[in-house]
């Protein structure tokens, strides 16, 4: 049964693979667009090549071996949202940008987006549940994002499957995160400087390949997620073309290419 409980009108965007700076710039542009238009956009996208993304306030300067990253062909970008390091390679990224409603707390919007993710994953054949609090939330340090789940993040078979973070600014929110197709996250300690022994043993995350016995493409994940939006939020949700935000996004790319931003901490 369809019903509307939405912020406003929803739009759906399946973007082509882009660089880390382009992906973050587009999410940032969509956040600004949400404040102007009042529309909510659910995006699915991938990365044109492997990229290490750092959380907004993660301390990373001097902790990664840049020569190893370059030799492996891995770019580095810092996200506008918080959290810890993620290697974007064999995964699918989602983002939601929306105007902030004063009565909607971060916890509320996070939960509603989780409902969409769980419904989409369920359509793919994956049963995911929010993680239960086990103590203090992990600090944005050197431990990879997928080491252990924070409260509310989605787990499957007891391991973290989806890592998410939300940022609010100028009347709009951006929440984005990774849905792992395969496990690249366990390799992250390889790219830290010698002596980072605290990162040498990390928990293995859940992956769609392990859970389904196959690796779904971004298009299949997008179809499932977009149908969840129509079922749970807006039955009249329509497509948004990347071209509609491309110009504004490109104007924001230099910020995410700036080494002072990337290695600000």
Strand order in the sheet with 159-169: 129-130, 154-156, 159-169, 172-180, 91-99, 40-45, 10-14, 238-239
Distance CA 49, CA 34 (A): 28
Write the Ramachandran bin of 228: left for phi over 0, alpha for psi from -120 to 50, otherwise beta.
alpha
Q: Which two tokens stand for residue 173?
A: 């929110």
H-helix or E-strand spanning residue 108: helix 106-124
Distance CA 136, CA 115 (A): 24
Which member of 24, 34, 145, 218 is catalytic?
A: 145
Spatial contact of 48 and 17, defined as CB atoms under 8 Å apart: yes
Residue 193 designated active-site: no
Distance CA 107, CA 210 (A): 30
CA-based end-to-end distance of the chain: 48
Q: Where are the beta strands (DSSP E) in the chain?
A: 10-14, 40-45, 51-54, 75-78, 86-88, 91-99, 129-130, 154-156, 159-169, 172-180, 238-239
H-helix or E-strand spanning residue 104: none
The residues carrying an active-site annotation are 145
């Amino acid at each position: 049964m369809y019903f509307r409980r939405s912020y406003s009108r929803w739009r759906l965007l399946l973007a082509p693979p882009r660089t880390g700076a382009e992906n973050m710039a587009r999410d940032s542009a969509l956040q600004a667009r949400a404040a102007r238009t009042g529309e909510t956009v659910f995006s699915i996208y991938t990365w044109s090549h492997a990229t290490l993304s750092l959380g907004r306030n993660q301390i990373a300067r001097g902790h990664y071996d840049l020569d190893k990253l370059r030799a492996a062909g891995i770019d580095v970008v810092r996200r506008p949202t918080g959290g810890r390091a993620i290697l974007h390679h064999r995964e699918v990224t989602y983002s939601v940008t929306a105007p902030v409603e004063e009565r909607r707390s971060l916890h509320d919007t996070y939960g509603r987006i989780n409902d969409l993710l769980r419904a989409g994953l369920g359509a793919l054949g994956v049963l995911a549940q929010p993680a239960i609090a086990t103590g203090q939330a992990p600090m944005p340090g050197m431990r990879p994002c997928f080491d252990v789940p924070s409260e509310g993040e989605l787990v499957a078979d007891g391991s973290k499957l989806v890592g998410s973070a939300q940022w609010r600014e100028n009347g709009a929110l951006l929440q984005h995160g990774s849905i792992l197709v395969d496990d690249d996250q366990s390799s992250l300690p390889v790219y830290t400087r010698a002596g980072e022994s605290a990162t040498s043993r990390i928990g293995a995350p859940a992956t769609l390949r392990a859970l389904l016995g196959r690796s779904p493409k971004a298009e299949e994940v997008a179809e499932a997620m977009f149908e969840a939006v129509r079922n749970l939020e807006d039955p009249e949700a329509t497509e948004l073309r990347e071209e509609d935000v491309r110009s504004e996004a490109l104007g924001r790319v230099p910020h995410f290419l700036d080494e002072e931003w990337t290695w600000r901490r």
